[in-house]
Amino acid sequence: MRAEAEALVESIKQSMGLLRRHLDVDTATRRLAELNAKVEDPDLWNDADAAQKIMRERTELEDRLGSIARFERDLEDAATLVELGEMEEDADTEQEGIAQLKALKVEAERRQVEALLSGEVDGNDTYIEVHSGAGGTESCDWARMLFRMYARWGERHKFKVEIIEETSGDEAGIKSATLVVKGHNAHGWAKTESGVHRLVRISPFDSNARRHTSFASVWVYPVIDDKVEIDVKESDCRIDTYRSSGAGGQHVNTTDSAVRITHIPSGIVVACQGERSQHKNRATAWNMLRARLYEAEMMRREAENSKTEASKTEIGWGHQIRSYVLQPYQLVKDLRTGHTSGAPDDVLDGGLDSFMEASLAQRVYGGGPGEVEDVD
Summarised one tens digit per residue, pLDDT across range 55-96 is 988 988 898 888 889 989 999 999 999 999 999 989 999 999
Find out whether 17 and 112 touch, Cβ atoms under 8 Å. no
pLDDT for position 252 = 42
pLDDT for position 290 = 87
* 121 located within any domain: no
pLDDT for position 227 = 60
pLDDT for position 95 = 92
Same structural domain, 221 and 73:
no
> Which segments of the chain have a pLDDT < 70?
1, 116, 118, 226-228, 245-255, 301-319, 364-376
Same structural domain, 49 and 96:
yes
Same structural domain, 249 and 325:
yes
pLDDT for position 376 = 47
Instruction: Work out how many domains the chain is built from and give that number.
Output: 2
Query: 147 lies in which domain range?
Result: 126-365
pLDDT for position 248 = 45
* 372 located within any domain: no
Show which of 67, 90, 115 is a domain's final residue.
115
Show which of 115, 141, 166 is a domain's final residue.
115
* 100 located within any domain: yes
CA-wise closest residue to 357 among 61, 117, 154, 11 = 117
Q: Cα(223)–Cα(55) distance, rounded to whole angstroms? A: 19
Q: What is the DSSP string of 161-190?
A: EEEEEEEE-SSSSEEEEEEEEESTTHHHHH
Q: How far is CA 295 from CA 164, 187, 290, 299, in A?
A: 18, 11, 9, 6
Q: Cα(237)–Cα(330) distance, rounded to whole angstroms? A: 45
Q: Is 364 left (phi over 0), alpha (psi -120 to 50) or beta?
A: alpha
pLDDT for position 230 = 78
* 374 located within any domain: no
Q: Cα(240)–Cα(256) distance, rounded to whole angstroms? A: 10
Same structural domain, 250 and 314:
yes
Same structural domain, 182 and 313:
yes
* Alpha helix (H) residue ranges in 24-47: 25-39
